[in-house]
Amino acid sequence: MTGPLDGKVALVAGATRGAGRGIAVELGAAGATVYVTGRSTRARRSEYHRPETIEDTADLVTEAGGRGIAVVADHLDHSAVRHLVDRIAGEQGRLDVLVNDIWGGENLFEWNAPVWEHDLDNGLRLLRLAVETHAVTSHYALPLLLRRPGGLVVEVTDGTAEYNRDTYRVNFFYDLAKASVLRMAFALGHELGPRGATAVALTPGWMRSEIMLDAFGVREENWRDALAREPHFAISETPRFTGRAVAALAADPDVARFNGQSLSSGGLARVYGFTDLDGSRPDAWRYLTEVQDAGKPADVTGYR
């Protein structure tokens, strides 16, 4: 059996866990060869000190039907990223999809701390991990992606351009990081569009990542138990939902119509008709605006 991305090659930068893992697995399920990068391995953990590893992600890609290839890489290290891209070029001769999902800031930002109170070193480290890594990866990977027409770049962020324009996001450093990634997709759209490729920004909704599930003390199997603590968590989605959004974009021959735009998993589900693993279509950003931020009681009727 073949999938819509059979023969395609993808690089998911920052695929150890969360959205990156969900995206890599769904690209694999569609038949792609997926290079997955991260810093946490079976031999050594990053400063996150989490159990998820990049080798596990590669295995999940292969189990889903694709070919997962794990590459340990720190995307702040220019030589490491250059060697990564050289390896893909040597082994595959092509790159069809680049997903910039590097983040690494979970343990660095302080909720609602103004810039003069926030730890400066942590804030600047967050910006390097969340923004500089994307620029470094694009610099080295895009020449390979542009060898063939139809390439796709996905910049993963938190929040749509519309939502983030009007909403203060957590603190100065977090807000700046997420806005910067949105603008990256806009700028890349201008640079890639005339050269036959497409760039978009994509945000998950309220994602049930491994870290989020741990924060609520639940697992995917019983995630609804967290609703007693936070009823609005009912709108949440799995990382695979975002993965299905990326796979749908990558398989769309008319994806250029989205070039430079800010997209969401829930919005693309309406366009392409895919669902989350439970068969629902959570539309988190519409829900956040119309229900949660509006101070209304939690009710996902009409939103999933």
Enter the pTM of the model.
0.97
What integer is the mean pLDDT of 180-185?
98
Tens digit of pLDDT for each residue in 232-281?
999 999 999 999 999 999 999 999 999 999 999 999 999 999 999 999 99
Q: Domains of the chain (ranges plus CATH)? A: 9-210+239-278 (3.40.50.720)
Predicted pLDDT of residue 258: 98
pLDDT at residue 1 above 70?
Answer: no
The dihedral over CA atoms of 103, 205, 241, 268, expressed in degrees to the nearest 10, equals -110
Residues 6+ apart with CB under 8 A from 240: 22, 25, 26, 276, 277
- Tell me the catalytic residues: 174
Q: What is the pLDDT of residues 112-158, one digit of tens each?
A: 899 999 999 999 999 999 999 999 999 999 999 999 999 999 999 99
What is the reported pLDDT for 2? 74
What pLDDT is recorded for position 103?
A: 95
Which of 235, 153, 224 is closest to 186 using CA atoms?
153
d(CA 273, CA 268): 8
Task: For residue range 274-293, list pLDDT tens digits in order.
Answer: 999 999 999 999 999 999 99
CA dist list (Å): 256 to 156, 199, 279? 17, 8, 28
